[in-house]
Structure 1
Amino acid sequence: MRADRLLSVLLLLQARGRLTAREIADELAVSVRTVYRDVESLAGAGIPVVAERGSTGGYRLLGGYRTSLTGLTAGESDSLPLAGLPAAAEALGFGPGAAAAERKLLAALPSGNRQRAQHARRLFHLDAPGWFRDVEPVPHLAEVAGAVWACRPLRLTYLRWRSPQEVVRDVEPLGVVLKSGTWYLVAATATATATATATATAAGAGAGAAAAAAGDSVRVYRVGKIHHLEALPGTFPRPDDFDLAAFWAGWTARYEAGVYRATATVRLSPEGLRMAPFRLAPAVVRSLRSTAQAPDADGWVRARLPIESIRHARGDLLVLGAEVEVLDPPELREAITAAAADLTALYAARPQEGRSPAVATPRC
């Protein structure tokens, strides 16, 4: 709404002092011409906006003018926890509300504290995605976040890795998590929350029992793997004491422990030990450090590593090249040996480009 934008212009000038029309337009995602009209409207309403010409000019408020019109709207209050995370707020659909909430909070601060807050913002930056990874497209993230907020059930068409790959799930979304640049939906099956609540009520138990019972059916879905999404009618009763952070901590610990179904005994060279933290998963590195024996005469160390499968372990350990030797299980050692033989055969099959094959010198 235009009234909200006029207030945003006023609060920007109050918080930052002097701004050009282009800076205001970029901040509010409007045209420079719109900023000109808004400033004229503020001046016409008696707000002492001064235009200063020149390369260092811009708009400012005259004589330290301040307004107390800093009340947050409902949408801005909803997005307040994301005010310091603009990228995440934008992805969740709360970008404009979070930006407006931050402007109003800064405008309400005394001058000294406002400058400190603005200075702190320039010093810290969160870049969630990991290195050398594109951000996964999440076209349904904003709709998922809205359903979480409104306690609205969803029907998901979800693509998973095992067969059948495409499945349909009716879920009750309980929260959204961003981990290492990847978004996840935490949701209960569509009837779990209501059934758990009814059961707990009939048994005379409290909300905690209902949340625990519903938690048994809570699952995690990767938002980028949601192929299609449909909002279902009505709402569902969210357990009052469902703790998203606590659930996530427990779920990730169980997931990490469940992924690794076997162990392998390996020897690592000093260079392999140095490379391991940069090439292997954190859980594998922790096991390496806790089980490492004393180095032998050549500096090699024997240790036990958790593995997901023979196929996964082969790929994981090949990145260390000749700096690791598999001792056990025999199937993994054979898989590594076969891979090394295949590589040798591949590179020996044809000469290196740009070099002629060796020709035997005839003997007279």
Structure 2
Amino acid sequence: MSKADNMLSILWLLRSGKRVTAKQLADDLEIHVRTVYRCIDSLCASGAPIIADAGPNGGYRLLGEFVDSPLLFDLEEQKALVHASIFAREAGYPFTDALVRAIDKLKRYTNEEQLEWMNRHDSGLAVIQTPTDSREVEWLKWLEEAAARGESLSMDYAKGRELTPSRRVLDPYGIVHWKGIWYVVGFCRLRQEIRSFRVDRIVRLEIADTRFERPAAFSARDFLLRSLLPGSLDAETLVAVRIQGHEHALNELCKHWLFGHGLIERKQSGEALFKLGELSLKTYVPYFLLPYGRALNILEPRMLIDRMAEVSLEMFKHYEAKQIKTEDKEG
């Protein structure tokens, strides 16, 4: 048998929960005792919690609940892990190298039928995403690890390409991937408040000499959404929004992150009820709805209907002015 087969067989034998000596393992598997030692060393290096008890009644055993844990993934679980790795890699996940090693290990310790199954599903899924450059990936690693350890970072941050970077100390609470862009959310000691920053605008990072404790139950995701779209998640300002339209258009609308989050009810009559932040209805929501044109009909609230009329009129005036300028040049 191959070394991988021997390692897996040893794990199965140790799952009994009893202490087993190296000689007993060698006899059961019909291999040399030195091979057993090498396999156990490899298993320990891979993270298997194998305990070696010395003495007359000693031997090898598995630690705690690992005995009851599954050693293999079924076909659907394997497919899901392969697909998840594709999404993570294309999104610029900072620990892609470790993820690739994990998937390679999963493929290495499987049979030919399962390997073919995984490879077929691997080639059947693609994700189109703006590539993340190597420097940004490195910053993401620093930020995620600092957030986990509670270590502050000294950061040079530029709001635009032509602006001079500003230096500040940041307590990173977490990284968030939203609409193709990576953000870090944390406490900015320069501004003395929690803020969000685009990772692709970070110029320099260094470990600072301070530590921090992240606030209990803090959500970097919710903070980012509130900072980018104020009022979209505030329960105190939620307004009922009723929209009627073709089934296909409503389906597409409900896939939008904001409307999907605020969906309350879908009716067979072709209506959908949402609860959305009042401020977002005055700012962002009209522009989200504009591309649907007459495929959707807003029933309430009146304030959103009026705002849609204002936005549509602004768009009409904008392109009417451009058309007049073009005709004047041609004339």
TM-score (norm 2): 0.48
Considering fraction of residues, name the structure with more strand: 2
